[in-house]
Amino acid sequence: MLNPMITARSTPNIALIKYWGNRHDAYRLPAADSCSITLDTPSVEVTVEHSPVFKLQSFLPDGTEKVLKEKDTARIEEHLRLTKEFLAKRNLPDAIPESVSIVIRSAIPPAIGIASSAAVFSALATAYSALASVNRALPLSDRDATIIARLGSGSAARSIFGGFVALKNKKDHEENKDIDSAYAEQIAPANHWALHDIIIVPTMEEKKVGSTEGHHLAQTSPMFQKRIEAITVLRQQECIDAILKKDFEALQQVTEEDCWDMHNVMQTQTPPLQYLNDETYRITEEIEDLRAQQHLPVLYTMDAGPTVHLFCEEEALDAIRAYAHAQKNCTIFEAKVGQGAIIKE
């Protein structure tokens, strides 16, 4: 078996229709479809090679080595096991080595409310796919890479592609809980629509309850089932149509509706999860006012944290940048639409 050293690079993505809740926890099969924009920055690089024993090292943006928690290492080991289970289903049982050494180099500042797991697992999946393709003449498809990424972090499936991406359940998903019954697909490439993400981070504190734990309890919310139906019947398609037509107003309405709906589910599950803080509520209200007064093409969305993502078109960029930089005690980042995961030559 050939065992080259492979490095892949990837970036986070921000969901417009959010993934919250699973229909199968261990395989991270989402209860509903979702869709997102892949960002062009900040990036993560993951290097994988054969090793007689499993090894994992992770480096922070300043180059210092991160002290890994036992649960982080266990998650990556479990992901390797699941990747092998998936490859065995593809009749490629030993396409990747028994054990590997993994080095993660992240340029994502810790705890800024941009999930690094999406970038890490999409880069890792890209590296595993390349490794499997080197070992077997039959290359894995991009869709296979999205499935491998999903096994580590549901939202990571979407960062395999650049641009605008959907995470989809197979049509027969109500009966089908197979490991490969959800995958990501590109809706439109990065150059389809020049959107900007101005990111306002009110606190750099690390969140107490991660998304993985939160997903497991989503179904305890009395609002969960209704949200899944709304996405399945209407919202996901409305979002895809708005992207394809570059209809900003439609995109804004469906994105904000789904964002609040997800946070309502989070806040009513048992135990409740409150990821937003006073700053989040203040900023979103002010953006609504600004939009009404100046007719700016800007929308907001928040994931599992108080960080506000302000997506806007070029014409609103100066005003939104000025607004963001006027926020006291907040850290500001900027990103554009990115290209997704790649192998570094």
How many residues sit close enough to ligand DP6 to count as binding (CB under 6 A)? 16
Q: How far is the CB of 92 from ligand DP6 (least distance, A)?
A: 25
Peptide bond into 271 cis (omega under 30): yes
Nearer to ligand DP6, 7 or 38 (CB): 38
Distance CA 223, CA 189 (A): 34
CB of 17 to ligand DP6, least distance (A): 8
Query: Which ranges of 218-277 would DSSP assign to H, the alpha helix?
Result: 224-230, 236-245, 248-268
The piece of 96-104, 130-138, 152-160, 188-196 that touches ligand DP6 (CB under 6 A) is: 152-160
Closest CA to 338 of 199, 195, 241: 195
Largest CA distance in the chain: 64
Site string for ligand DP6, 64-103 (x = CB under 6 A): ----------------------------------------
Write the interaction track for ligand DP6 spanning residues 214-253; mark x where CB under 6 A is met and - where it is not: -x--------------------------------------
**What track of x and - describes contact with ligand DP6 for positions 113 through 142 (by CB under 6 A)?**
--x-x-------------------------
Give whichever of 42 and 154 is closer to ligand DP6, judged by the CB atom: 154
Alpha carbons 52 and 182: distance in angstroms, whole number: 32
Residue 244 and residue 286 in contact, taking contact as beta carbons nearer than 8 Å: no
Residue that is written with structure tokens 């989402």 in the block: 30
Under 8 Å CB-to-CB from 163, ≥6 apart: which residues? 37, 38, 186, 187, 188, 189, 190, 191, 192, 337, 339, 340
Question: Which range touches ligand DP6 (CB under 6 A), out of 102-110, 122-130, 186-194, 208-216?
Answer: 208-216
Q: Cβ distance 70 to 147 under 8 Å?
A: no
Which of residues 168 and 215 has its CB atom nearest to ligand DP6 in the complex?
215
Chain residues that interact with ligand DP6, rule: CB under 6 A: 15, 18-20, 34, 115, 117, 153-155, 210-212, 215, 303-304
